[in-house]
Amino acid sequence: MDYVSALVPPVVMAVFFTGLIVTIVKTQGGANKAKEDAAADAIVARAESVRQSPEAGGA
């Protein structure tokens, strides 16, 4: 019976890890993808404008 108690924790972790991966894959894209893309684009645009504004002001 020692082998059962030795195998249970890795099996449980493997099951939860598989569930985590399935959840991550399922939540990619879909209805929230447009909102996530828009938020990422806004962050990039803000970072680029901040990076370019000191150069334009100093010239």
pLDDT digits (tens, 9 = 90+) for 4-57: 889 999 999 999 999 999 988 887 777 777 787 888 899 999 988 887 766 555
Please spell the DSSP secondary structure of 9-22, one letter per residue: HHHHHHHHHHHHHH
Q: CA 36 to CA 33: how far, in whole Å?
A: 5
Q: Count up the domains in the chain and report the number.
A: 1
pLDDT on residue 8: 93
pLDDT of residue 54: 61
Full residue range of the structural domain in which residue 22 is found: 2-58
